[in-house]
Chain A
Amino acid sequence: QKEVEQNSGPLSVPEGAIASLNCTYSDRGSQSFFWYRQYSGKSPELIMFIYSNGDKEDGRFTAQLNKASQYVSLLIRDSQPSDSATYLCAVNSGGSNYKLTFGKGTLLTVNP
């Protein structure tokens, strides 16, 4: 069973702090890794993707990938109350570019 594991949280951080969200995956053949943000009652929204080992930065967001450890993370710097949402990690799996397997998500709360 190909799985994507996330700490369900809730993860609570104060405004202005760094939020760190973690994800591990079981399929060593996975090549593409995605972070989605989902506000309550809304659809998932793509915020970051990463394909290569190392860090990828986009504004306040940094994705980190370590394929040897089968680990991907998302750092949110200068967290804002508007960042409060569920963050979903998604990984392509089954040797297919078409299929994404999602983790169950981590609920992040940023306290003013």
Chain B
Amino acid sequence: DTAVSQTPKYLVTQMGNDKSIKCEQNLGHDTMYWYKQDSKKFLKIMFSYNNKELIINETVPNRFSPKSPDKAHLNLHINSLELGDSAVYFCASSRVGRENNEQFFGPGTRLTVL
């Protein structure tokens, strides 16, 4: 199936741990994103990579580190997890043109920090 996929779907962990979320897209897109959706459902961009190059880095704690090994993959590593990191993390991808940036989202990873 053509899609944006994420693993794991659910992640429950203790404060202070380090965890990673993986994302893969087989849509042939050149740009990938990580978004955070908090308990109030507000969806906010964290990072974006275009052809493996970091192009958006919003005000995110440096405990969050994205890594793009190739155009089809964008992983998110989180160090020293805190309670406030609990949220749903969505990966997305797009092919960016002069006018358009239609982003397609993965199913999300629900992170719960205890």
Any A CB within 8 A of the CB of B83: no
Q: Which of B41, B44, B56 has the most CB of A within 10 A?
A: B41
SS of B interface (majority):
loop
Instruction: Report yes or no: B96 in contact with A105, Cβ–Cβ below 8 A.
Output: no
CA A51 to CA B90, docked complex, whole Å: 25
Q: Which B residue's beta carbon lies closest to that of A104? A: B42
Interface size of A as a range: 20 to 34
List A contacts of B105 (CB < 8 A): 43-45
Tell me how far the C-beta of B75 lies from the nearest C-beta in chain A, rounded to whole angstroms: 18
List A contacts of B55 (CB < 8 A): 96, 98
List A contacts of B31 (CB < 8 A): 98
Q: Given that A43-B90, A98-B31 are contacting pairs, would A49 and B43 also be in contact in the complex, using a CB cutoff of 8 Å?
A: no
Instruction: Report yes or no: A100 in contact with B42, Cβ–Cβ below 8 A.
Output: no
Q: Given that A43-B107, A98-B50, A98-B55 are contacting pairs, would A92 and B43 also be in contact in the complex, using a CB cutoff of 8 Å?
A: no
Interface size of B as a range: 20 to 34
List B contacts of A44 (CB < 8 A): 43, 90, 105
What's the A-B contact tally at a CB cutoff of 8 Å? 59
Could you tell me which B residues sit within 8 Å of A by CB distance? Answer: 31, 40-45, 48, 50, 55-56, 90, 96-108
Closest 5 CB pairs of A and B: A43-B105, A102-B43, A44-B105, A97-B101, A97-B96
Q: Given that A43-B90, A86-B41 are contacting pairs, would A100 and B104 also be in contact in the complex, using a CB cutoff of 8 Å?
A: no
Instruction: Report yes or no: A98 in contact with B56, Cβ–Cβ below 8 A.
Output: yes
